Amino acid sequence: MSRQIPYQPLLLRILHSINGFLVIGALVTGFLVYDSYDGRFGGLGLTKENRTLIDIHGTFGFFLFFVILPLFLAYCLIKGKKRLIQLNQIKDLTKQINQPKWWYNVHRFVNTLALVSVSLAAISGKFQSEDWLPNKELNHLAYYVHLLAWLLLLISVLIHGLMVAKVGGIPLIISMYNIKYKPEDSPHLWWGNLKVWLENLRR
């Protein structure tokens, strides 16, 4: 039986796609920076020490930290809360294992873990200095936290992909990259909606 393609709000699709692009860019360039300057925990030796790599990585990190992550986080915490794990659902993770509801809860948990990991990576990124690795300073606490965040993020994004495939299959994946939208979801209406939302909040 074929499953229907669900509808995803346009703003979510836009923020999620740009966030995904920047996160994958930061993961790959971050790895290359590590691989060329460090490599103590294993590596591939693909690149040589190169400052441009650090600059490219810093650019991905910059846009993530200052532009997209704050917007994506705000969206997920305010409008997309239902897709993140709620405190009262955490205890359900040990009950009725393997039921569809359980899988959806695990999916929510992994969504949340991906958000926590990307925040940890971006915040610890702000504590890095572009001169540490070229100066062979490899033992800063903030650098270890940044490396750990990379690992956590890689694992959570990989499991996120698996969970999306498990709970919704190909139709759910397509839904996130679909370019059609409903008239009531048009960007022309966003400014008005935001004003109404802020007005309600003030009341």
Instruction: Give the residues lining the site for ligand HEM (CB under 6 A).
Output: 12, 16, 19-20, 23, 26-27, 30-31, 33-34, 54, 57-58, 61-62, 64-65, 76, 80, 83-84, 111, 114-115, 118, 121-122, 125-126, 128, 130, 133, 146-147, 150, 153, 157, 160-161, 164, 172-173, 176
Question: Closest separation between CB of residue 184 and ligand HEM, Å?
Answer: 18
Contact 127, 142 (CB under 8 A): yes
Our CB check for ligand HEM shows the closer of 105 and 157 to be: 157
Our CB check for ligand HEM shows the closer of 88 and 116 to be: 116
List strand residue ranges (DSSP E) for the chain, in order.
none
Our CB check for ligand HEM shows the closer of 83 and 95 to be: 83
Our CB check for ligand HEM shows the closer of 73 and 199 to be: 73
Question: Closest separation between CB of residue 16 and ligand HEM, Å?
Answer: 6
Q: Is 94 left (phi over 0), alpha (psi -120 to 50) or beta?
A: alpha
Q: Which whole-number Å values give the CA distances from 134 to 49, 112, 122, in the listed order? A: 8, 34, 21
Our CB check for ligand HEM shows the closer of 121 and 203 to be: 121
Task: Identify the residue whose tokens are 């846009």.
Answer: 63
Alpha carbons 37 and 58: distance in angstroms, whole number: 15
Interior angle at CA 156, CA 101 and CA 151, nearest 5: 160
Per DSSP, 65 falls in state I
Question: Closest separation between CB of residue 185 and ligand HEM, Å?
Answer: 14
Task: Identify the residue whose tokens are 């925040």.
Answer: 119
